Amino acid sequence: MKHLILLIGFLFATSVFAGKNVSNCVSENYNSAMNAECFIKFDMESTKAGFITTGFTGVVKKFSAEFNWNGSEFANTLIKINPRDIDTDNGSRNDKMYEQSFGVDKFAQLVVQIGGPLKAGNHNNVPALLTVRGKIKEITLNMEITVSKENEFVIKGTSQMSIKELEIPDPSIFIAKVRDRVDLSFQLKGTLSE
């Protein structure tokens, strides 16, 4: 709990930044989200009948990202996702994910908060907060940030998370066991306003 309080303080200690930027990333369907320049993807695996392992990739078809930019640093990044905008390209798996894993009728939003300030370059083990099923969880991101002379930016990142540690109900069924680890990747692209 002490770490969580310190992390929340870190996240909002930089709120004096100017230049709020908002980026909305929208894809019409699973395939366009898989090929979009602005994306959030997650890779998972399930094992059927104890020995047949298959992997699948989920995507977020629509999300928003807000952050502050002061001319040299990013801060106070807030990413908002409606769980119903997550797609695994399998209708029955999606329905189970919405209802069982995310409890969409009760919890209508996933939120990721990344504090900063972060300059262009590589950043490993960046602390962030993920709000899932109404609970705030600490996660760690590895990020690469580039900003061109024309103020075009690219933020790439990865993370590994545990379904159990996030307290998401295990989506496994009797004949198919879902791996606990979730491999996350994301990319934001755009032009900065000062």
175, pLDDT greater than 90: no
Token pair listed for 109: 């939003």
Omega within 30 of 0 (cis) for the link into 127: no
What's the whole-number mean pLDDT along residues 80-89? 97
H/E run at residue 87: strand 86-87
d(CA 100, CA 176): 15
Which of 151 and 3 is assigned the larger pLDDT?
151
14, pLDDT greater than 70: no
pTM score of the predicted model: 0.86
Q: Is the dihedral of CA 42, 3, 80, 24 positive or negative?
A: negative
What's the whole-number mean pLDDT along residues 76-81? 96
Token pair listed for 48: 């059927």
With contact defined as beta carbons under 8 Å apart, do 19 and 68 qualify? yes
pLDDT tier at 172 (50, 70, 90 boundaries)?
confident
Sorted by where each starts, the structural domains of the chain and their CATH numbers stand as 2-191 (2.40.128.110)
Token pair listed for 171: 């989506």
